[in-house]
Every structure is written in C-alpha cells, then in structure tokens.
C-alpha cells in the first residue's frame, strides 16, 4: 500500500466553495445527490486539467457538469476515486450515488447503529458518502437536505442551523440544515432515528440563548444530566478562559451505541459513543462520570480548536488534538482537583505514550509519513501533543499564553493551518524564541534526563548536572537536543522549600520552584546559599514529558513522599519507592516486604488531613504493565507475583489502619459527585481491596455487604472486583454468585454489561482465557459492536498482562484469531487490538517467538486492511 508523506504535501488544485447534499435515507439503499461549486485554486500549480475526487464503496448513478450529463469518455471511475477530464476553472458538478449503510461494519461514513442511521467522517469517511475533495484543507459551506420516512426516522439532524422542512407528495419528510461556517468534509455529520431529546439552554457571554439538545434512544432520557451539566460548564469555561463563544443557533449531541472512537466534534452536531454520555449513579462509576465531563468538554472545545481553525493535512492532527486535550485537561483540573488530575494524566502518558514512543510505531507529534491515518490517532499525537502545548503555556505564563491564543484565533479563523503556525503565534504573542522548542514536534522518542549533584558545605553551593539523551526511534537514528523546561525545587531537612539562587544572581528569590531551561546535551547549574544539603525535587508537576533519572536513596524518596510541597512529586516519590521495592522483590525472587516501605504507607494512611483522592493515588501500586516497562526483559509472572504479595502484605500488615480509613470514608450520607465524595470512594475501595487481598475476614464481609448494598456502581464494581480476586475459594465462589446476580440485574443495559465482560476478561484467575473464549459465544457478545469488543477482547489483551502473556502462547493465538476475524469487519478496531503484540521485543525468547509467529501469520493473509498491515509490518521490521 502507498505511503503518504508530509514532504509531498501540495495544496489542492481545486477548491469547493459550496456543497448541496440531498440524502434519501434508507438502511439498505441511501441515495446521495451532491452538487459541488468548484473553482481552480489560484495558489496551486496547474495539473493536466483533470479533477480528481475521492470516493469509495459508492455506486455512481449519474454525473453532470454545469447541468449537462457527462458521457463515459469524459470521466473515469476507479476503486477509490473519480477523474473528471478537463473541467473548466469554475464549474458545478452534480453526482448521484447509492450506498448501503447496513453493510457498513467498518463504521466509517454512513452506517446503521441499532435503529438509527449515523455518520463518522474523520479522518476519511466522507468519501464513502459522496465523491469529494476529502481533505481538511478544502473548506466548504454545506447545505443538507435529509429525506426519510417519518415513522422510522422522525428525527433528522445535520450540521449547522435548522433551515425549514416539508412533507413530500409521497409522505416522506424533508428536513433542511445549513451550516454558515465553511468546514472540511471530515466534520460533516447526519443522524436519523427515533430519538428522544433532553433539552436545556445556554446563554452566551454576548447574550444569545442557545438551545442545547442531547438525543438518545428512548429509555435513556434519565441518563443525560451529567453530560448536559458538563456541556454547560464547558461552554462557560471556554468563554472565561479563552474568550471563545459558541457560534451557531443550536448545539446538538447524539449518543450512539456503535462507535469506533470516544466521540466526534462535527460542527454543531457532536456524535458520541454512548459510553461518554449516558450515566446515572447506579449505572456508571466515578471514572465514567469523569470521562463524560472530559470528553463532552473536549468535543465542545474543538468548535474553536479544530473546527473554526482546522488542520491543513493529517500530519497536523496534533494541532487540534494536542491543543484540545490540553484544554480539556485544564478544564477538568478547574472542575475538580488540579493535583489529582495532573497525576491521572501523567499516569496515562507513562502507561501508553512512553511505550509507544519506544516501540516500533514510535512517531513524532507531527508524523512524517503514514500508510493509514487512522493508525495515528495515538497517545503521541494526543497526550504528548498536549504536553507540548502545556510546556509552551507554562513557558509563556497565563497572561502571555492568553495573548498568544487570542492571536492564533484572530489570525487563522476560517483556515486550515499547521502546528508551525500555532508555534509562531506562541512566539509572537509570548515574545519568546521557540526555534529549538519546535523539535518537540518533529522528533520522536522520550528524552531521558540523567541528573547528578554534589554539595559543598564550605561554600553552601549545590551543583546539579543534567544530561539529556533521546534514544533512537524507527527512521530517526540521530537525535538533537531539545529545549526542556525542568522545574526544580530544593527541600531542606525540615521539608521546607529553599530559595533557588543561581550563580550570577545577586539576590536570592523567594523560596519555591524555579524553571531551568535545558538546551545543551549537558547543562550545569550552581545554586548558592544552601546552608544545608538539599534534597532535590526534580521535574515538579511533571514539567516536561521526559524520563527522569536521579539516584535517590530510599530515605530521600520517603522524605519527599511525606514533605514535598509539590503534590505531584509527593505522588511520584511514592510510585518510585513502590517500584523499587517491587522490582527488587522480582530480582531477589522474594515475597518479603521491607518494613520501611510499610512504615511509609502507614504514615500516609494516618494523615487524616490529606485529600482522600490524592491519598488514593499515592497508595495505589504501579500497574503490572508499567512495572514491566521498567525492566529490560518483562518478567510477566514475577511482576504479578510480587505485586500480589505486596498488596497482601499491605492488607495484613496495615489491617487496622486500612479499616480505620475504610470506616472513615464510608460515613457519608447520600451520593454526590463532588471531588471530596469521589475521593472518599476511591480511597475506601482501595483500602478494601488491600484487605481482601490479604484474606482479611472483616474485609471480605464488608466487600460482600458493599456489593449487596448496591449503593452506586463505583462501590458495586469495586466490591465485585475484589470478591472475584479474593485468594480463598469460598469468597471467589461468592464472587461468582455476585457476578451472576449482576448479569441478571443489568442484562438490558449495554454499558453496564460491558463492565460485566471486562471484569471477567481482567480476572487474574488461571482459567481466564478459557472463560473469555466461552464468553465469545455468549448471546450478548457481538463482534460488530466496538464497545463490546473492547470490553472482552481488548480488556483481556491490554488489561490482563499475566494471562494474556501466558507462556504457552494461548493468549497470543487467541488474539491473532480475533484480529483475523475482525479485520474484514472493522479494520480500525482490529488494528487497535494489535497493540500489545507490537511490544514483542520486550519479552523473553519464548514469548517473542510466539508473538512473532502470530504477527507473521497475520501478515500472510490475503486482503488485509491497510490499518492492520501497517501496524503488523512495522512491528516486524
């Protein structure tokens, strides 16, 4: 398959100013009439005069130019495009095509979900709806007419503002929509179905009242409150923080049960995976509620960062995604706890982006090439991209950053631009030079910072030396030094911040954090006036997406864990401490836990003033996946064994403290979603899990009672998970019974049923693979619903390292089989599932050989999608 390269970018030869679309909707037979007003692009070099339109899986029924039907000699039809020969500089092209939404299992373009019809066009789905210049730098005004049987499809939605409707002679209804803002085709959407609207209203800063509607399938009306509240908060926040007001007369959201991604920011008509809309306390966990708040905000924020200003080409994807993720992270931080949000975001970055950046699919935030763009909706483009924006925001400070974003919105409104254009606004608005900083966009790999220090007691001088090194990645053997902001604090023996006075400065600054700029491969800093030897608190707030290495002693880590004024680094010290203990236990093949570690945990548990949410983060052990990343060769079984052993040791060694905290967190009245209440649930459930892991009789009883109480899904799932993982057979049997009851209760709630599948797929019990294979046959399982596939197959392959990576290779064969089944149905989902096997080089020879065998077997299959081909072939290179 062909490779698309950034260096080959050419502006489009033709532009489209206006589009009229008329869709006669039917699940099997939809007719699409399109009229495009085209004109030659004055900024492009002239080709041979042919117009080349993208189009796939379309049956062309009619074509005419400026009102005259074309003869077969005047155009040429290929599998993925249509060539119209020698078109004039300005023209009107009309086409009529037929498509079959019911056959569309890839869920790109127009497809069927339950009883509704809906679309997903990003990145290149619009070409499955009509012939078009399906690229983001072609921005057109869309007028859309939807024709359908009003009994089947009473609700007919598209982008923009409603523009009237009529009933046709044959009884069908025709509804018109007009979007006044030019947009690329990937933001086009329609939805047709028997849907119920939940309505509210938002008054913008300038006083316009905007009706807000969330459309759901009947029966789900009572699960939209949280999404609606999140939307209203996001609209207000974007006005206050960025001066961005909503621009259309209506804002619509639709929740869909079959969806490849989380959600889609189509102009004025956001289409969501139902998972990120529907929630009630009985059906959704606190994590689900937080996910909804974040994703609703994310898609809304795209209205300015993505829609009004869009990407010139798909290599610029992070222009909208990195920036919008940064914005949604900041929004969530403002709505809840800034410190806890930062920890969650960095945990995700380290768990997903760091491995990606050191593996076969490593690519820069702005990739140089791709085979299939769908494979580049990655943690690097999203999460590392957000870190790169965050570093710029921090370098500028809030006022100059706001000035720079104002400039960006003003200068590029209505245009399709590049990440470089964004950085230029940061430079101009912020008055700084980001020449070297730009390498963050073009250079892949996680930089490593090696820090060394010494202290001269005689002069009170503390010296810090920092070396940066970025490991090579595919296609980029040599790396250049980056501009890295390193936030440094120096902590004295009492746990107080010292002033960080750099050599050459005459006055000490106020005590606190200083940002050091790293630009050279090696940088040395001299800090004056240190009366005692400081403990360095490095990379506070995770000031750059790097791997930091400093030879901390265990005492220093415990000290920072207890005293660092930076909440993030308190957490990070705890993680590093736990990681050290766990990896040492693997190395020594022991299950003995050092007493000092339990002491540090005890001290933390006894701090009644701590924020429960933050404490829960501090007391959570690093995941098995993350621990594996820290080893040269991942020891799957060793990691699992010691992590279980450490959890049990915490549960038995600190039973009294855990019980006290559990009791304290339970003493609450009704359910609410405040940060404090969510934090109490998180902390209480963590304590319970430790107790049950240790077989604590009281803990087991409490877990059972908590499950039986059915107070809210957060507590129910937490209790069920601990019961299923209980070490003794009797409790595990009770867990099985609870699981059966859970199914009975929730059989009609697809999103809750996903949890039922995922719980079983993630169980560390030895027979899990057999159970997952049985569940494939369960009547509720379906390969054509992405959420269900992720809940069973994805949860097993990516969320259960010890069973997926079983030494006999059973997990690998299972995944290989599923990918080959899924690829013809839905290549995007098949390709995503491959991820854990792309990491094969990190395992022992036996596992390597078995994973490679599966990858090679997949690669040999005839007719593989580009999606799967690209990931498999790059993994084997």
> Tell me, what DSSP letter sits at residue 804?
H
User: Residue 476 CB, nearest distance to ligand DPP (Å)?
Assistant: 26
What are the helix (H) ranges across 282-418? 286-301, 317-335, 338-348, 354-357, 379, 385-412
Cβ proximity to ligand DPP: between 175 and 309 the closer is 309
Q: Retrieve residue 55's tokens.
A: 């189009």
Residue nearest to ligand DPP (CB): 264
DSSP-derived pairing of the beta strands 14-24 and 140-148: parallel
Binding test (CB under 6 A) with ligand DPP, winner from 60, 102, 261, 732: 261
Q: Which is nearer to ligand DPP, 146 or 381 (CB)?
A: 381
Question: Cβ atoms within 10 A of the Cβ of 829, count?
Answer: 24
Of the CA atoms within 13 Å of residue 504, those in its CB half-sphere come to 3
Least gap, CB of 310 to Zn ion (angstroms): 12
The residue among 329 and 476 lying less far from Zn ion, judged by its C-beta, is 329
Active site residue 299: yes
CA distance 774 to 772: 5
**Among the residue ranges 258-266, 386-394, 741-749, 803-811, the one whose residues contact ligand DPP (CB under 6 A):** 258-266
| Closer by beta carbon to ligand DPP, 184 or else 653 | 184
Residue 122 contacts which entry, ligand DPP, Zn ion, none (Cβ below 5-8 A, type-dependent): ligand DPP
Taking CB within 5 to 8 Å according to partner kind, which of ligand DPP, Zn ion, none is near residue 643?
none
8 Å CB contact between 200 and 240: no
Q: State the minimum distance, in angstroms, from the CB of residue 293 to ligand DPP.
A: 15
Residue among 265, 288, 497, 823 that touches ligand DPP (CB under 6 A): 265
**Long-range pairs, 613-616, Cβ under 8 A, ≥24:** 613/337, 613/340, 613/675, 613/676, 613/678, 613/679, 613/682, 613/683, 614/337, 614/339, 614/340, 614/343, 614/567, 614/570, 614/571, 614/679, 615/679, 615/683, 616/679, 616/682, 616/683, 616/686
Nearer to Zn ion, 324 or 329 (CB): 324
Is residue 263 a contact point for ligand DPP (CB under 6 A)?
A: yes
Do 222 and 280 contact (CB within 8 A), yes or no? Answer: yes
Least distance to Zn ion from the beta carbon of 317, Å? Answer: 9
Q: Which of 25, 58, 227, 264 binds ligand DPP (CB under 6 A)?
A: 264
C-beta closer to ligand DPP: residue 84 or 386 = 386
Residues 6+ apart with CB under 8 A from 177: 142, 143, 144, 145, 146, 157, 158, 159, 160, 161, 162, 163
As a 3-state breakdown, the chain gives helix, strand, coil percent values, each rounded to 5, of: 45, 20, 35
Contact 248, 268 (CB under 8 A): yes
List own/partner pairs for 595-604 with CB under 8 A and 24 or more apart: 596/554, 596/558, 598/649, 598/650, 598/653, 598/654, 599/558, 600/558, 600/561, 600/562, 600/574, 601/650, 601/654, 602/654, 602/657, 603/562, 604/561, 604/562, 604/574
Q: Is 696 in the site for ligand DPP (CB under 6 A)?
A: no
Minimum CB–partner distance for residue 391 and Zn ion (Å): 20
Residue 793 β-bridge partners: none
> Nearer to ligand DPP by C-beta: 332 or 702?
332
Measuring CA to CA, which residue among 825, 757, 824 is closest to residue 794? 757
Of 194-202, 263-271, 276-284, 814-822, the segment contacting ligand DPP by CB under 6 A is 263-271
- By rule CB under 6 A, what count of residues binds ligand DPP? 9
Contacts 24+ apart (CB under 8 A), 282-287: 282/710, 282/712, 282/713, 283/223, 283/713, 283/746, 283/749, 283/751, 283/752, 284/223, 284/226, 284/713, 284/751, 285/713, 285/714, 285/717, 286/673, 286/678, 286/681, 286/682, 286/714, 287/714
261 binds, among Zn ion, ligand DPP, none (CB under 5 to 8 A by kind): ligand DPP
Q: Which stretch binds Zn ion (CB under 5 A): 66-74, 118-126, 317-325, 662-670?
A: 317-325
Among residues 339, 273, 263, which one has the least CA distance to residue 301?
A: 263
Binding region for ligand DPP (CB under 6 A) out of 220-228, 250-258, 295-303, 507-515: 295-303
Q: Decide whether 293 or 749 has the Cβ nearer to ligand DPP.
A: 293
CB of 120 to ligand DPP, least distance (A): 8
Among the residue ranges 320-328, 345-353, 488-496, 585-593, the one whose residues contact Zn ion (CB under 5 A): 320-328
Per rule CB under 6 A, is residue 299 in the interface with ligand DPP?
A: yes
| Interaction partner, residue 137 (ligand DPP, Zn ion, none; CB < 5-8 Å by kind) | none
Q: How far is the CB of 415 from ligand DPP (least distance, A)?
A: 18
Tokens found for residue 697: 């009789």
Partners of 455 in beta bridges = 462
Least Cβ distance, residue 363 to ligand DPP (angstroms): 17
User: From residue 116 to residue 135, what is the string marking binding to ligand DPP with x (rule CB under 6 A)?
Assistant: ------x-------------
| Contact positions with ligand DPP (CB under 6 A) in 450-509 | none
**321/715 with CB nearer ligand DPP:** 321
Sequential DSSP letters for 73-131:
GGEEE-SSEEEE-S--SEEEEEEEEEE-GGG-TT--EEEEETTEEEEE-TTTTGGGTS-
Taken as a whole, the chain contains a residue count of 877
Binding window for Zn ion (CB under 5 A); candidates: 57-65, 315-323, 594-602, 646-654: 315-323
Take residue 833 and report the two structure tokens written for it: 């599932």
Sole window of 105-113, 134-142, 322-330, 604-612 interacting with Zn ion (rule: CB under 5 A): 322-330
51 or 121, CB closer to ligand DPP?
121
Q: Longest C-alpha distance within the chain, in Å?
A: 96
The distance of closest approach from Cβ of residue 361 to Zn ion in the complex, given in angstroms and rounded to an integer, is 20
- 270 vs 685, which CB is nearer to Zn ion? 270
Q: Which stretch binds ligand DPP (CB under 6 A): 257-265, 491-499, 580-588, 713-721?
A: 257-265
Stretch of 15-23, 138-146, 319-327, 502-510 lying at the interface with Zn ion (CB under 5 A): 319-327
Q: Is 321 in the site for ligand DPP (CB under 6 A)?
A: yes
Task: Considering the complex, state which of residue 26 and residue 265 has its C-beta at the smaller distance from ligand DPP.
Answer: 265
Give me the catalytic one of 56, 265, 299, 356.
299
Among residues 564, 666, 654, 665, the alpha carbon closest in space to that of 616 is found at 665
Residue 54, contacted partner among ligand DPP, Zn ion, none, CB below 5-8 A by kind = none
Residue closer to ligand DPP, measured from CB, 122 or 288: 122
Provide the edge-to-edge strand list for the sheet that holds 190-193.
Answer: 109-113, 116-120, 190-193, 155-158
CB of 788 to ligand DPP, least distance (A): 20
Are 370 and 870 in contact, with CB atoms under 8 Å apart?
yes
Least distance between ligand DPP and beta carbon 206 (Å): 26
Q: Give the active site residues.
A: 299
Q: Which residues bind to Zn ion, rule: CB under 5 A?
A: 321, 324
Q: Which residues bind to ligand DPP, rule: CB under 6 A?
A: 122, 261, 263-265, 298-299, 302, 321
């Amino acid at each position: 398959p062909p490779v698309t390269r950034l260096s080959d970018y050419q502006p489009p030869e033709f532009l489209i100013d206006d589009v009229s679309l008329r869709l006669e909707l039917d699940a099997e037979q939809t007719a699409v009439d399109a009229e495009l007003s085209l004109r030659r692009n004055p900024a492009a070099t002239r080709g041979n005069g042919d117009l080349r339109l993208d189009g796939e899986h379309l049956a062309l029924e009619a074509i005419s130019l400026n009102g005259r039907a074309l003869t077969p000699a005047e155009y040429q039809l290929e599998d993925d495009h249509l060539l119209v020969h020698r078109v004039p500089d300005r023209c009107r092209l009309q086409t009529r095509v037929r498509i079959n939404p019911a056959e569309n299992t890839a869920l790109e373009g127009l497809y069927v979900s339950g009883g509704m019809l809906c679309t997903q066009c990003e990145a290149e789905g619009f070409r499955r709806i009509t012939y078009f210049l399906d690229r983001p730098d072609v921005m057109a005004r869309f007028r859309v007419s939807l024709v359908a049987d009003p009994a089947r499809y009473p609700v007919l939605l598209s982008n923009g503002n409603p523009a009237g409707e009529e009933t046709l002679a044959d009884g069908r209804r025709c509804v018109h929509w007009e979007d006044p803002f030019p947009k690329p085709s990937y933001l086009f959407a329609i939805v047709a179905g028997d849907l119920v609207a939940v309505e509210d209203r938002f008054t913008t800063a300038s006083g316009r009242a905007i009706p807000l509607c969330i459309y759901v399938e009947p029966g789900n009306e009572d699960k939209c409150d949280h999404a609606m509240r999140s939307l209203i908060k996001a609209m207000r926040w974007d006005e206050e923080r960025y001066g961005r007001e909503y621009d259309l007369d209506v804002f619509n959201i639709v929740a869909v049960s079959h969806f490849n991604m989380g959600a889609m920011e189509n102009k004025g008509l956001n289409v969501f995976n139902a998972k990120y809309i529907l929630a009630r306390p009985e059906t959704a966990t606190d994590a689900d509620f937080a996910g909804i708040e974040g994703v609703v905000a994310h898609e809304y924020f795209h209205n300015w960062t993505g829609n009004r200003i869009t990407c010139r080409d798909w290599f610029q994807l992070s222009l909208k995604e990195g920036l919008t993720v940064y914005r949604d992270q900041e929004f969530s931080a403002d709505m809840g706890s800034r410190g806890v949000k930062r920890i969650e975001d960095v945990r995700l970055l380290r768990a997903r982006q760091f491995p990606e950046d050191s593996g076969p699919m490593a690519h820069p935030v702005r990739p140089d090439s791709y085979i299939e763009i769908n494979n580049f909706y990655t943690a690097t483009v999203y999460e590392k991209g957000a870190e790169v924006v965050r570093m710029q925001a921090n370098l500028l400070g809030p006022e100059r950053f706001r000035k720079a974003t104002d400039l960006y919105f003003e200068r590029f409104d209505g245009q399709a631009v590049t990440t470089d254009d964004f950085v230029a606004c940061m430079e101009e608005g912020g008055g700084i030079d980001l020449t070297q900083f730009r390498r963050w966009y073009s250079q892949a790999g996680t930089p490593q910072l090696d820090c060394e220090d010494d202290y001269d007691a005689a002069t009170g001088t503390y010296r810090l030396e920092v070396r940066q090194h970025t490991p090579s990645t595919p296609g980029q053997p040599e790396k250049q030094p980056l501009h890295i902001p390193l936030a440094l604090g120096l902590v004295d023996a009492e746990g107080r911040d010292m002033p960080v006075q750099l050599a050459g400065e005459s006055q000490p600054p106020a005590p606190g954090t200083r940002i050091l700029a790293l630009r050279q491969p090696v940088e040395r800093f001299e800090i004056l006036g240190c009366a005692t030897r400081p403990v360095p608190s490095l990379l506070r707030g995770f000031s750059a997406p790097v791997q930091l290495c400093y030879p901390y002693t265990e005492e220093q880590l415990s000290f920072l864990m207890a005293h660092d004024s930076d909440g993030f680094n308190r957490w990070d010290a705890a993680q590093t401490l736990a990681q050290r203990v766990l990896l040492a236990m693997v190395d020594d093949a022991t299950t003995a836990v050092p007493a000092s570690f339990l002491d540090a945990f005890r001290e933390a548990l006894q701090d009644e003033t701590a924020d429960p949410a933050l404490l829960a983060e501090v007391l959570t052990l690093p995941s098995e996946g993350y621990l594996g990343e820290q080893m040269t060769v991942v020891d799957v079984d060793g990691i699992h064994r010691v992590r279980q052993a450490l959890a049990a040791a915490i549960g038995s060694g600190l039973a009294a403290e855990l019980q006290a905290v559990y009791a304290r967190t339970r003493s609450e009245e009704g359910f609410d979603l405040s940060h404090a209440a969510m934090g109490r649930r998180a902390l209480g459930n963590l304590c319970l899990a430790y107790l049950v892991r240790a077989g604590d009789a009281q803990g087991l009883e409490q877990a059972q009672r908590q499950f039986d109480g059915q107070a809210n899904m957060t507590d129910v799932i937490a209790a069920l998970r601990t019961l299923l993982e209980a070490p003794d057979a009797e409790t595990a049997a009770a867990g099985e019974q609870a699981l059966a009851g859970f199914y009975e209760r929730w059989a009609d709630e697809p999103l809750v049923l996903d949890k039922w599948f995922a719980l079983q797929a993630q169980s560390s019990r030895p027979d899990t693979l057999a159970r997952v294979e049985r569940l494939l046959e369960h009547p509720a399982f379906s390969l054509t619903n992405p959420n269900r596939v992720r809940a069973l197959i994805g949860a097993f392959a990516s969320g259960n390292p010890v069973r997926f990576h079983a030494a006999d290779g059973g997990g690998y064969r299972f995944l290989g089989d599923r990918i080959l089944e899924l690829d013809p149905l839905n290549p995007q989902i098949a390709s995503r599932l491959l991820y854990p096997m792309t990491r094969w080089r990190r395992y022992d020879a036996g596992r390597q050989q078995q994973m490679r065998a599966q990858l090679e077997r997949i690669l040999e299959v005839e007719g593989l999608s580009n999606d799967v081909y690209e990931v498999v072939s790059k993994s084997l290179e």
